[in-house]
Structure 1
Amino acid sequence: MTNNYNKILVLAPHTDDGELGAGGTIAKFLEQGSEITYVAFSTAGDSVPKHLPRDILKTEVKQATNVLGIKEENLIIYDYAVRKLNYVRQEILENLIELRAQKDFDLILIPSINDIHQDHLTIAQEGIRAFKQYNIWGYELIWNNLQFNTTCFVKLDLSHVQSKVNALKMYKSQGFRDYMSSEFIHAHAKTRGVQIGCNYAEAFEVIRSIN
């Protein structure tokens, strides 16, 4: 795949969603010289294990995106309440429109439009509203997807998959989740690679393609 995307915007409902859904692709595009802006809408303080600081995910997303190679100035963190993003749709839309005015993006990465998590679906819908004249891909978080249309694949090297694993290791507060394990990350990337005849890949839904 030839990368024609110079400026990419990753919309993550919660810290870690962008890495989970597109971490390998982010690593590859950065390696190829793309500029990537990562926006996290909730640091999910109410979901953090009780023995940890409520704002720990804010620290961890900074570490994780740094591991991937995203510039500090290209990380934007909002602090909307977890599981309640649907109550602040207008505010989120205004955030996105403001961002759209600041940079001319080539590609927007959002959660799948088939994602059943209320926060994920909200960001997907508002992302489409704000960027309806842009290329948009939906990334997969398979534990939340009732279905997923694999209409686009990005071939990955082992190094890209490992960068994704290394980034996710920064989320120590979330390490108990099965989908955070390196075994799962490698296996899923291997599965997507088998589908297109390569070693590793990530899959996306093409929501809009403009040529």
Structure 2
Amino acid sequence: MIGLGAGRPDRIVAVGAHCDDIAIGAGGTLLTLCHTRPGIRVDALVLSGGGTEREQEEQAALAAFCPDADLRLTVLKLPDGRMPVHWEEAKAAVEELRARTDPDLILAPRTDDAHQDHRGLAQLIPTAFRDHLVLGYEIVKWDGDLGRMTAYQPLSAQIAEEKVRLLQEHYASQRHRPWYDREAFLGLARIRGIECHERYAEAFAATKITLNLGG
């Protein structure tokens, strides 16, 4: 396994189409970053759920997933499952996010995610953040779109367990879903850990990376 460092990020952006997307896809990575970089700035944008109980869940959850961080969360009111027909509003939100931050790292959905909301948001990110490191997170779902990933963030056993605990604690509205359980989240982390010779990991798709091998 070849390791490439991404420096020590001071600012990161995390985006999701729905409340809980960021936490499911990159919650362990957020915990790892925030534990090691107190005061790190996290600009988070979620396209749907605004004004509902889901926004309240997201506010509490991301505060827990980003301890000691400078967290700035925006939750919009776009309809769930309708992102393609609300392209202009989503595009404007991403552009506004870009105007207020210049991040070292972006955590976003994958461009080949089977869910149209996830995929649409992923396609918008490089139109505004054109020279940034974007890691596309994965979300386990019925569609069966998990694939071969290109980047891994190892998670300690403590972080992996904390991620699962926080997901179960803060997103009460999702507990009825048959896939929303400890076995699914920890199982995927274990599989991704196997792939990078670690106990647990989160995996990401990276479509473009510039190297500096000359130092």
Structure 2 residue corresponding to 1:37, chosen from 29, 40, 43: 43
Partner in structure 2 of residue 167 of structure 1: 166
Equivalent in the alignment of 1:49: none
* Kept in 1: contact 2:46–2:74 (CA 8 A): yes
- Partner of 2:130, secondary structure, is coil
Give the match for residue 154 of structure 1. Answer: 153
1:18 corresponds to which letter in structure 2? I
Aligned residue type for 1:188? L
Report the aligned-residue RMSD: 1.9
Please state which structure has a larger fraction of its residues in helix: 1
1:163 CA drift (Å): 2.5
Amino acid paired to 2:58: V
Residue of structure 1 aligned with 2:61, choices 42, 61, 64: 64
Equivalences for 1:43-58 in 2 at 5 Å? 43=49, 55-58=52-55
Where do 4+ consecutive residues of structure 1 move more than 6 Å? none
**Who is 1:51 aligned against?**
none
Structure 2: 5+ residue runs without aligned partners? none
The separation in 2 between residues aligned to 1:199 and 1:141, in whole angstroms, is 19
The alpha-carbon distance between structure 1 residues 3 and 202, as it changes in their structure 2 partners (threshold 3 A), is same
In structure 1, the gaps of 5 or more residues are 45-53
Deviation, 1:16, is 0.3
TM-score of the pair, normalised by structure 1:
0.88
Counterpart residue type for residue 41 of structure 1: L
Alignment of 1:30-179 (within 5 A): 30-33=34-37, 34-43=40-49, 55-69=52-66, 71=69, 73-143=71-141, 144=143, 146-169=145-168, 170-179=170-179
Letter in 2 for 1:159: Q
Deviation at 1:60, TM superposition (A): 0.7
Give me the whole-angstrom Cα distance separating, in 2, the residues matched to 1:84 and 1:110.
18
**Aligned-residue identity in percent:** 27
